[in-house]
Amino acid sequence: MIPTRDDVLAAREALGGRLHRTPVFSSATLSRLTGAHVFIKAELFQRTGSFKPRGILHKIDSLSAEEKQRGVISISAGNAAQAVAWASAEAGADALVVMWQGASEQKIESTRNYGADVDLEAENPTEAFARLHRLAEETGRTIVHPYDDALVVAGQGTVGLEIMEDVPGVTVIVAPIGGGGLVSGIALATDARVVGVEPESSDAMHAALAAGRAVPVQPASIADGLSAPVAGETTLAVCQQRGVESVLVTDAEIEEGMRFLYGRAKLACEPAGAASTAALLAGRVVFDPAETVVVVVSGGNVATQTAVAILGS
């Protein structure tokens, strides 16, 4: 099922006041550099440190009592993992999250601290997705997909509703893409031009839009939050339907975006969260002067050693 704007409105109603309405503020420096009126949507201040709980909580809310009793299972590099752990605890459901070897130790620890069990048998994202389905069959748990789910997409779309209300007249929204849940949700919620940003080395949605179908990739970017090995069928369909654009940035440009946000906007974001700002700084997104642009800083879950290495370089 492809969700609609009505589904996004229903998600906001269902979520009620359990999540933060994250702030939006102007950036004089980005405005000066681009010639546009640029605003930043700070989703790193959401519960668990990223936008992910919006869609994940909406999905888990929809489960029956019997499904919650059997428990849920999901997969993530870390941000969705933490959201699943937190939302499952809120719902009184047991959670198992499949991650992979080499995933952020900080995100693994945080996921466990929110109450979920973590499976680390897979060596990479591709193996982890295969293990997800195998474990779901073995355990009877309900799969909560981190992005390829209509209810998850609708929940993530509440980001777009807030942007439209807080920045009247917005014409361009720039947001990171992993599997596509955030950009597709925003595209459903708004009439603005939506531009997704992916690392050159983790370009699942970019490849899917070019091919017209989901294409497996081998993600290998410093932006681990954007490490989807394949775009979602649902998210791809929405992006195609709504004309979502995709641009690519290098890891070096992502690091520069992260340094900019830390130094000029005072936002301690993670690499994935800096991708949209990186695209503006690198001139990857072209727009007319005097347009109103919102960049989404999607998360702030970054290991201290990673942040120090990037900010100190």
Ordered DSSP codes for 22-37:
--EEE-HHHHHHHSSE
Q: In what order do the strands lie in the sheet with 37-42?
A: 24-26, 37-42, 292-297, 172-176, 193-199, 245-249
Q: 106, 196, 206: which is closest to 159 by C-alpha?
A: 196
- In this prediction, residue 60 carries a pLDDT of 98
pLDDT (0 to 100) of residue 174:
98
For the chain of 313 residues, list the mean pLDDT of each consecutive stretch of 10.
96 96 97 96 98 98 97 92 97 95 89 96 90 96 97 98 98 97 98 98 97 94 93 97 98 98 96 98 93 97 91 88
Q: Supply the pLDDT for residue 235.
A: 98
First and final C-alpha spacing in the chain? 45
Burial of 190 (0-12, 13-18, 19+ CB in 10 A): buried
Q: Do domains 5-51+150-311 and 53-143 have the same CATH topology?
A: yes
The pLDDT of residue 290 is 86
User: Across the strands, what pairs with 284?
Assistant: none
Instruction: Mention every residue, 6+ apart, whose C-beta is less than 8 A from residue 219.
Output: 125, 199, 201, 202, 204, 226, 227, 228, 229
Cβ partners under 8 Å of residue 178, min gap 6: 147, 198, 202, 204, 225, 226, 227, 228, 272
Amino acid 90: pLDDT: 95
Radius of gyration of the chain (CA): 18
∠ CA(245), CA(47), CA(188), 5° rounding?
30
* Cβ(196)–Cβ(239) below 8 Å: yes
53 contact partners, CB below 8 Å, separation of at least 6: 19, 46, 47, 83, 86, 87
**255 membership: H or E segment, kind and range:** helix 251-264
Q: How far apart, in whole angstroms, are the C-alpha atoms of residue 115 and residue 83? A: 11
Specify the fold of 53-143.
Rossmann fold (3.40.50)
For the record, the structure tokens of 133 come out as: 């389905």
CA dihedral (246, 250, 255, 256) positive or negative: negative
**How many C-beta atoms lie closer than 10 Å to residue 242's C-beta?**
17
pLDDT at 103: 85
Task: With H, G, I as helix, E, B as strand and everything else as coil, classify residue 42.
Answer: strand
Residue 17 has which token pair? 């006041």
Domain ranges of the chain: 5-51+150-311, 53-143
CB 271 within 8 A of CB 258: yes
Angle, in degrees to the nearest 10, between helices 271-281 and 251-264: 90
**Number of residues that this document lists for the chain:** 313
Task: Give the distance from CA 166 to its chain's centroid.
Answer: 20
Q: What is the CATH number of domain 5-51+150-311?
A: 3.40.50.1100
pLDDT of res. 289:
86
Contact 205, 236 (CB under 8 A): yes
